[in-house]
Amino acid sequence: MLSNTQFSMAVHLMCALAWNEGKLIGSQDLAHSVGTNPSFLRGLISVLREAGLVDTRQGKGGGSTLARPAGTITLLDVYRALETSQPLKVHRPDCGSDCIVARRMKNLLHDLNEKLEDTLAIELKQTTVADLVTEYIT
Amino acid sequence: MLSNTQFSMAVHLMCALAWNEGKLIGSQDLAHSVGTNPSFLRGLISVLREAGLVDTRQGKGGGSTLARPAGTITLLDVYRALETSQPLKVHRPDCGSDCIVARRMKNLLHDLNEKLEDTLAIELKQTTVADLVTEYIT
DNA sequence: TCGTCTGTCACCGTTTTGGTAACAGTTAGG
DNA sequence: CCTAACTGTTACCAAAACGGTGACAGACGA
């Protein structure tokens, strides 16, 4: 799935914005909460903005806010925004091998990846950012 | 989930052993099919052996074979054998922050991880190595 | 005893990851 | 218009992860 911590940080970020829904929050405040630095976080925010999950305003007094109501943003939306690869990292089976197992492995792993992706999607779609805020943040 | 290709290689390995069920296969032959080198693969085999999925015999004519019938080994068994961390890599939210979101994030991510883990387990339990061989390998 | 195989360790180069600085561009407010 | 404050983006770095490889002791069949 996600071999880096960006999904985790993005969830944190979205919850922070949802908790302050309506306000513009600067990357410095957000970075302090997430536990990273503003510059790195702005990169993550850019990705979420391109996915239509976050709005930002530049200039003095600028910052980030949710692009839509927190109740309409699911974890799947966040996941898809960051998705760069499939759930499984796949090795390089020797497709030209005389071993029949190797020749079929690519298809097998492709299908397995799709099945896991679907399963994850169904699970992630069931939770919205608003759900998380309601359940966990007082 | 699995940030490396070992699950992918392990599935390949188990299918190869299942396809040759009953025979002892050397790490060289297996490595050739998987597309890696024997030494690295022996490390992976060791992990699967400790998990009780594979038997090995040392010495001349030695090699690996399935420890149980392929129909009794699920992908969850393979996954658990390799499991070193949780599905999500989690960042380090500033738990001591004055931001309430940060203070609750650890619990939130922990629960999310458990939910995803359960979802994956249910999915992976439904497929056995024998299923894969039957469906994909002629 | 000899040849062949596994088990394990140590080491290496590459890639990935997250952190950081720098700076141009944008905007509110005087 | 000018300044201060903020974002957007790039480039670069150190640390960690990853997979590959060689080496060698130990096990075992012949």
Domains of chain A by residue range: 6-85+127-137
**pLDDT tens, position by position, B105-126:** 999 999 999 999 999 999 999 9
The reply to whether B8 touches chain A by the CB within 8 Å rule is yes
Average pLDDT for A133-138:
95
Asked if A99 is an interface residue toward chain B (Cβ–Cβ < 8 A), one would say: yes
pLDDT digits 0-9 by tens, B32-83:
999 999 999 999 999 999 999 999 999 999 999 999 999 999 999 999 999 8
pLDDT value for A78: 98
Query: What is the average pLDDT value for chain A, to the nearest integer?
Result: 95
Mean pLDDT of A21-32: 97
Which of A5, A36, A109 comes nearest B8 by C-beta? A109
On chain A, the residues whose CB falls within 8 A of the CB of B91 are: 5, 8-9, 12, 34-36
Q: Is A134 helix (H, G, I), strand (E, B) or coil?
A: helix
CB contact under 8 A, A120 and B115: no
Contact B100, A137 (CB under 8 A): yes
Q: What percent of chain A has pLDDT over 90?
A: 88
The predicted model gives A33-52 an average pLDDT of 97
Structure confidence at residue A98 (pLDDT): 82
What phi and psi, each to the nearest 5 degrees, are found at residue B57? -125, 135
User: Of A133, A137, A124, A6, which is closest to residue A70 (Cα–Cα)?
Assistant: A133
Helices and strands in chain A, H and E counts: 6, 2
**Residue A41 CB coordination number (10 Å):** 23
Distance from residue A58's CA to nucleotide D18's C1', rounded to whole Å = 39
> Which amino acid is located at A26 in the chain?
G
Instruction: Based on DSSP, count helices (H) and strands (E) in chain B, helices before strands.
Output: 6, 2
- Tell me the C-alpha to C-alpha distance, in Å, between residue A57 and each of A23, A31, A60, A63, B82: 11, 17, 9, 5, 45
Contacts of B108 in chain A (CB under 8 A): 11, 15, 132, 135-136
Residue-wise over B17-41: b if at least 16 C-beta within 10 A, else e? bbbbeeeebebeebbbbbbbeeeeb
| Distance between CA atoms of residues B137 and A105, nearest Å | 8
Task: Assess A106–B contact: CB distance below 8 Å, yes or no.
Answer: no
Domain B6-85+127-137 class in CATH = mainly alpha
Over 70: is that where the pLDDT of A1 sits?
no
Q: Given pLDDT bands bounded at 50, 70 and 90, which one contains residue A62?
A: very high
Rounded to 10 degrees, the C-alpha dihedral B3/B7/B9/B11 comes to -160
Q: Do B102 and A1 touch (CB under 8 A)?
A: no
Nucleotides of D under 7 A from a protein CB: 4-11, 17-23, 26-30
